[in-house]
Each structure stands twice: as structure tokens, then as C-alpha cells.
Structure 1
Amino acid sequence: MSIYKLSIFSLLILVIAFSSCDTKNPYDTGPAYDIEGNLAKDSLLIAAYLKTAEIDSLYRIYDPSGVVIIVQKEGSGSRPITGNAVFTRYIGSLMSDGSVFDTNIQQVAIDNGLFVEGKKYDLLSFSLGAGTVIQGWDIGFRRLRSGSKAQLIIPSTYAYRDAANNDRIPANSILIFEVDFKGME
């Protein structure tokens, strides 16, 4: 009888052991995002774009991160620091084809088939460095003075990386934002 109980106990242990083994690791989400590789590729694409793009500017800032800030109108205010509330109007487009994917300007939304009935097209406010906007915005706005108008060219590494954010922003997209930095608190 004890051999019978021992056999049942052993069988039970084996069943528990094999059923608790998961052959698919839930943390194995595929290859890691290649930050350096994608940034190098995006930098070449941005450099080629800037050689041919006709963009009026006062000056350009080539941030070490790879974000390019093209200042079109210099503001007279100070630059924001972490924690400041930033207020802006913006138009977001893809560098690859110029298609607009987001804006907080109602007429631009209408013109580009983005208008949403009932949505308020007000100034966007965000806290610099709080992680509520893409990292490229935190990088770009730190280099602008309040009152500036600029274009932020943001490599995919500091935007949505390899995630397809929505049907208008493909994975690994380089983004361009026309921003009108209205002020900060």
C-alpha cells in the first residue's frame, strides 16, 4: 500500500511539474529594439532630407540625441526646464511623405481628414520631462525659448520606435512637428 501511495504521489509531482512549465516565456517579446542602429539609419535619412528640404530658418540646432530643431522665429522668453508646463500649437507629419497625422489646429485637422466632431482644438499643455509626450518633444522644447516657432525633426528612437502607433504612423517613422511655443508656467 505504501508503494501505491508513493507511486501516486510521484505521479502527482510529475503532473504538477510538467503542467507548471510554460514553453513560451511571456517576457520573450522578440529581439530588443536596436537604439543605436535605428538612430544611425534615421540620422542618414534626416541628413538627406535636410539637404533637399526648403525650410526657412533663422538657425538649426543639431542636438546630440539626433533631434534637429529648426528655429523659424526666435522667442523672447526663457527656455523651459523639467517640470515647467509648456503650451503649444502643433502639426505633426511624417518625414517620409509629409502626410499630417496629428494637430491641435482645427482647420489643419479639417484639411487633412483628421477632424473629430466635439474635440476641442485647444493649446496642448504638457509638463516637460514628465513622460507624457514623446521623448523628442522633451528634447526639442528644452532648446526653444518661449514664443518660438520651430520644426522638430524627431528620429524614430525618440518617437514611437518600432510600434505602429496608429494607422497614420508606421513603425520606425521619423516625425516632423511644426510647433508654435506659446508659453510656459
Structure 2
Amino acid sequence: MLIRMSSEPEQQIGVGTADAFQRLWTPHRMAYIQGENKPTGPGAADGCPFCSLPAKSDEDGLIIARGSGVYAVLNLYPYNGGHLMVVPFRHVADYTELDEAETSELALFTKRAMAALRAASGAHGFNIGMNQGSVAGAGIAAHLHQHVVPRWGGDTNFMPVVGHTKILPQLLADTRRMLAEAWPAG
């Protein structure tokens, strides 16, 4: 995608050509769009990222915090900076499959995620939710996960509206470190 940010006549810009930031792209989104690394079955051996992430270090897995039944992890394809998910360790697809302890800890981690995001980034509000089933928009429907998306006044601009692209001003590793440091003790 080429987005012109000046009134100069459009010119052909080749790959690797210095363009004074007139070309904005998010090639990492193509992996999501094309369904790369989508699970083929119910467990880590079948490619479920939510089952395999806990075996990684927090830094390598972008895990912010771990509990006994759930963990908080940054979304690789975020809608906004700081977009994270609360995920049960146990591989379940539906919210009704959680036991009482998992349900309680998922709620507690959602509260802690909001507190950490407010402390670390001054979030003004949040979109919180889960898509149950692929027909409801779940990218990985086989493993339940709840999204916590921080929002700020005026955070929707021409990029997502016209360019269908979100600009994230921070590397995910830096965001993970910032949120882990701000995560409330418990």
C-alpha cells in the first residue's frame, strides 16, 4: 500500500528506495491475514500458540504475567499499542468450559491488565471482550482468549479509517517489559 503524505505528484518508489517515510506498511499483518500458524488441532503439538506460549520465557513469549490458571500475553497483531489477551493455560474453546477458579482468575487478570495499562500508558478506556467461535470472529477459536484493548481519546485517525493500518510506536518487547513492570502485585 502506498500512502502519499505530501501534495507532490506521485512518483514510482522502488523497494529499498529512500522515500522520506512516504510509504507506510505493516507486512507483519499479512501472516495474520493469510492464516499463517493457525492451529490444526487442539494442543501445542497441533500448533495452538496459546498452548505453546507458556513453555517459552516471558520475554520470548511476550507474556506479561502468569497466574495458576491463566496468563496475560501481548497480541502479536494488536489493534492498539498495549493490546493484550488473558488466556487460560487449559485448552478450552468456550467460556462455559472454564471452571470457577479459572473464571475468577480470568476476571482478576482482566482487572490487573486494566490497572497496568492505565499505570504504564495512561489509557482512557478499554474494549474488553472475547469472540466465541470462528463465526463470531475468533482468530483462534479453539483456545479461549479475552482481549483487553486500551483506548485513548482521538486514537482513531486516518490510518485505520483510510489505510486500514494501525501505527504502533513501540516494539512489542518494550511494551511487554513496560506492562510487566506496571502489573499489580497479587
TM interval, shorter chain, is: under 0.3
- Which structure has more relative contact order (CA 8 Å, sep 6+)? It is 1
Higher Rg of the two aligned structures:
1
Using the size of structure 1 for normalisation, the TM-score is 0.26
Task: Please identify which structure carries the higher strand content.
Answer: 1
Using the size of structure 2 for normalisation, the TM-score is 0.26
Task: Please identify which structure carries the higher helix content.
Answer: 2
